Amino acid sequence: MNNPSGLDPRGWKVVVQPEEVKKVTSGGVHLPDETTERWGAAMTRGVVLAVGPNAFERFKEPHPKAGDLVTVPRYGGMEFKGVDGKDYRILNDEDVAAVVEDDG
């Protein structure tokens, strides 16, 4: 999995790219920036981009890996701008609550 963030996690940290918040509903309604910013702050899903060398070592297999869609706490971790200018979150491995197996 490509890691465009430029963030290389250490220890038990995990880099996650949050899902983008849709600015238009399925019915075609354009949402105001205030609404999409609030929903973005509360986002609970994202794609794992990178995993630190010690991440998940104290947990049983299977472990989340780069490319997995995961759920994370609404306000957990730290937000960073990547080298590509996009927003990323760095979380502790234990903050990854689940891997989303079927997104359909």
Cα–Cα distance between 27 and 40 in angstroms, integer?
20
Return the structure tokens found at 25.
């509903």
Higher pLDDT, 103 or 82: 82
Higher pLDDT, 27 or 64: 64
Residues in the chain: 104
Percent of the chain whose predicted confidence (pLDDT) is above 90: 59
* CATH architecture for the domain at 13-20+29-99: Roll (2.30)
- Of the pLDDT bands very low, low, confident and very high (cuts 50, 70, 90), residue 24 is confident
pTM (2 decimals)? 0.77
Cα–Cα distance between 14 and 50 in angstroms, integer?
6
Cα–Cα distance between 15 and 20 in angstroms, integer?
16
Cα–Cα distance between 35 and 55 in angstroms, integer?
34
